[in-house]
Amino acid sequence: MKWLLRILIAVVVFYGSFQYADQQMGGGVWLIVLPLIALACLLAIFIGEVRGFKLHPMAYAGGLIGTILGLIIGSLFGYVLIGINQSGIYLFILLNSTFAYLGYTVGISWGKEMASLPVFRQKTRADGAKTKVLDTSVIIDGRIADICEAGFIEGSLGAPQFILNELQHIADSSDPLKRARGRRGLDILNRLQKNPQIKVEVMDIDFPKIKEVDSKLIALARETGADILTNDFNLNKIAQIQGVNVLNINQLANAVKPIVLPGEGMNVTITRQGKERGQGVAYLDDGTMVVVEQGEGLLNQSVDVVVTSILQTPAGRMIFAAPRNNVP
């Protein structure tokens, strides 16, 4: 019904502008120019309404240029027909509508390709904060809510409809663990939406021909010029290969962890045995694992240890230490 109304409005505006140009402005070139301006403005309004201005500005520019070129070509053909037969007004409208649609389709595709060029991506980043598109893993993880509330994320957050559908599917799972994760993700989204300082937009853009959710997310980020917020290591790598900027929550967490150097001391509580004989395992407040040599006999005790070495991995840090009394 909405599309029928839009088409009806477009036909009325086009016909009205054409009649006005013919009767009030003396016809001539105005028969082409005035309907062209009217339809171009109307198209901009319709695109904004349907897309919610989620596309890259270059895509809109390409669509507008393509539509104008299509209208010019259609008007030239239609103007010739009207000169031959006055009843050609209906064919004139049909030609303009067809060429305008073709021009829009080709133009917006060209605009998307242009938007993927580095020069335009950098310009967008300089002009203002870009939208950050959330993936399923970062929503379920929940730390994004604390980061946003602390004011470290600029711009709006985008929640694609296909991500919401996946969360709903997980929340309805028969597996209790999956169901709990899905409901936690929905609760985190609700928490973000209720915060007046955080702008969360539901993005209705979908890609029916793409089946994988991660691939849809990358395509959405490329089309809109947005960043991706995730803690998925594989999605991070694939997106970067395709030229999409990624903000990884795990990398942020590793960056803000306290710096510990070999030879420094700390106090830890050994909570369990390690994999190797004689080892005990403790955890810092931020979750970093501390492997204590000769700590197996000190379970559930608070021990002063000295850091001997640090192992950094993509998943995080692991600290190796020994009881202070055993360090020479």
Separation of alpha carbons 317 and 255, rounded Å: 11
Separation of alpha carbons 27 and 23, rounded Å: 7
Q: Are strands 246-248 and 227-230 parallel, antiparallel or unpaired?
A: parallel
Boundaries of domain holding 290: 265-326
Shared-domain flag, residues 138 and 245: yes
Shared-domain flag, residues 244 and 183: yes
Domain-located, residue 138: yes
The token pair that represents 319 in the structure block: 């600290």
Domain-located, residue 14: yes
Q: Do 250 and 231 contact (CB within 8 A), yes or no?
A: yes
Q: What is the three-class DSSP state of 256?
A: coil
Side-by-side strand order, sheet with 200-203: 200-203, 157-160, 132-134, 227-230, 246-248
303 beta partners: 268
What confidence score (pLDDT) does residue 170 get?
93
Phi-psi region of 55 (alpha: psi -120 to 50; beta: other; left: phi over 0): beta
B/e letters for 281-313, b = 16+ CB within 10 Å, e = fewer, are bbeeeeebebbbbebbebeeeebebbbeeeeee
Separation of alpha carbons 263 and 95, rounded Å: 80
pLDDT tens across the length of the chain (328 residues): 455 655 665 666 666 666 666 665 566 656 666 666 666 666 655 665 555 445 566 666 777 777 777 777 776 776 666 655 555 556 666 776 777 777 777 877 777 676 666 555 544 444 456 889 999 999 998 889 989 888 888 888 999 999 999 999 999 999 988 899 999 999 999 999 888 888 888 888 888 888 898 999 998 888 888 899 998 888 989 998 888 899 998 888 777 777 788 888 989 999 988 888 889 999 887 678 899 998 888 888 899 999 999 887 666 678 999 998 776 5
Separation of alpha carbons 96 and 104, rounded Å: 12
pTM for the predicted model, two decimal places? 0.53
Helix 213-224 and helix 89-115, axial crossing angle in degrees, nearest 10: 100
Of the candidates 209, 294, 284, the residue with the CA atom closest to the CA atom of residue 253: 284
Shared-domain flag, residues 67 and 172: no
Domain-located, residue 122: no
Shared-domain flag, residues 139 and 65: no
Domain-located, residue 260: no
CATH number of the domain bearing residue 282? 2.40.50.140
Shared-domain flag, residues 238 and 133: yes
Domain-located, residue 219: yes
Query: Among the three residues 255, 276, 309, which one is the final residue of a domain in this structure?
Result: 255
Can you give the C-alpha Rg of the chain in angstroms? 30
Instruction: Kindly compute the dihedral angle of the four CA atoms of residues 205, 94, 64, 45, in this order, to the nearest 10 degrees.
Output: -60
C-alpha distance from residue 110 to each of 227, 273, 315 (Å): 21, 60, 40
CATH number of the domain bearing residue 150? 3.40.50.1010
What confidence score (pLDDT) does residue 49 get?
52
Q: Do 122 and 132 contact (CB within 8 A), yes or no?
A: no
> How many structural domains comprise the chain?
3
φ, ψ for residue 260, nearest 5 deg = -120, 130
Tokens 């520019």: give the residue: 61
DSSP code, position 209: T
Query: Among the three residues 255, 283, 316, which one is the final residue of a domain in this structure?
Result: 255
Shared-domain flag, residues 10 and 110: yes
What confidence score (pLDDT) does residue 4 get?
62
What confidence score (pLDDT) does residue 262 get?
87
Domain-located, residue 274: yes
Q: Do 226 and 135 contact (CB within 8 A), yes or no?
A: no
Domain-located, residue 123: no
Domain-located, residue 318: yes
Shared-domain flag, residues 152 and 242: yes
Shared-domain flag, residues 229 and 271: no
Shared-domain flag, residues 139 and 243: yes
Shared-domain flag, residues 272 and 235: no
Shared-domain flag, residues 153 and 35: no
Shared-domain flag, residues 132 and 249: yes
What confidence score (pLDDT) does residue 14 get?
64
Query: Among the three residues 211, 230, 255, which one is the final residue of a domain in this structure?
Result: 255
